[in-house]
Amino acid sequence: MFRILIADDEEVLLELLRENLQFDGFNVDAVSKKDEIIHYLDSYSYAVLVLDRNFYGIDIMSETIKYAKNKNPNMGILIISALCSVDDKVNGLLKGADDYLEKPFDNKELKARILALGRRFYSSEFVFEDTIINIETKQIMRNNERIMLSKNENALLFLLLSKRGYVFSKNEIIDALYLHPENILSNSIDELISRLRKKINPKIIKTIKTRGFVID
């Protein structure tokens, strides 16, 4: 099942939510500090963000939604909050939230709302021209024929797909792919990119001059 990020400053509740949602099959990251939200949004791609709007008495909803949507416009955002007047809910939706759930809530309702957002915003397939890449099974098909990749080719492709629109530098790719990055030459990444383009599609990976590589 798809990956979600839960952010709440109530650590006991946060742990209960993480355990319950993991039991239901979700891939869950849970954070209780504002800077951790940014770190995880920068590091991973999520289908849904579940966000408590108040962190230690400060309303972080607007800035967090803006940051999350800039990182991934396809991420569904569910606000959970004890602020539950009609005006509070309308304000949250106008600020860019996709759903708003009043605290306290039933776990079954939370799960249902996450699933609904996931269906709306998350696709397990990335389609590029005549190629279909399944993000979950990591199967790559072109014209009904399966494309086989080496271990490093596969790791690089799905690294780029994990943060579509983000330009990865060669150093970032080397750090992510290799156990001992200090032993890897930068031109080895050029070779990997070249092989991926030949096997999948010459246009699937863009080179951004002086910066790195990206899949849009």
The domain that holds 160 is classified in CATH as 1.10.10.10
Cα separation, 151 vs 100, whole angstroms: 41
Neighbours of 35 (CB within 10 A): 8
DSSP label of 168: B
Let me know whether 21 and 108 are in one domain: yes
**Can you tell me the mean pLDDT for 142-151?**
93
Let me know whether 36 and 108 are in one domain: yes
**Mean pLDDT in the chain?**
91
Query: In this structure, is residue 127 part of a structural domain?
Result: no
Query: In this structure, is residue 129 part of a structural domain?
Result: no
Q: Which two tokens stand for residue 198?
A: 């030949």
The band of 44, judged by pLDDT with boundaries at 50, 70 and 90, is confident
Let me know whether 103 and 166 are in one domain: no
Q: Which two tokens stand for residue 39?
A: 């770190």
Let me know whether 15 and 102 are in one domain: yes
Let me know whether 161 and 103 are in one domain: no
> Is residue 163's pLDDT more than 80?
no
DSSP notation for 134-157: ETTT--EEETTEEPP--HHHHHHH
Least confident of 79-88, 117-126, 144-153, 179-188: 117-126
What pLDDT is attached to residue 1? 63
Q: What is the pTM of this model?
A: 0.63
Cα separation, 69 vs 121, whole angstroms: 12
3-state SS of 18-67 is HHHHHHCCCEEEEECCHHHHHHHHHHCCCCEEEEECEECCEECHHHHHHH
Query: In this structure, is residue 198 part of a structural domain?
Result: yes
Q: Residue 83: give its domain's CATH number.
A: 3.40.50.2300
| Higher-pLDDT residue of 149, 162 | 149
Cα separation, 23 vs 47, whole angstroms: 18
Residues 6+ apart with CB under 8 A from 115: none
Query: Which of 96, 121, 146 corresponds to the end of one domain?
Result: 121
The band of 161, judged by pLDDT with boundaries at 50, 70 and 90, is confident
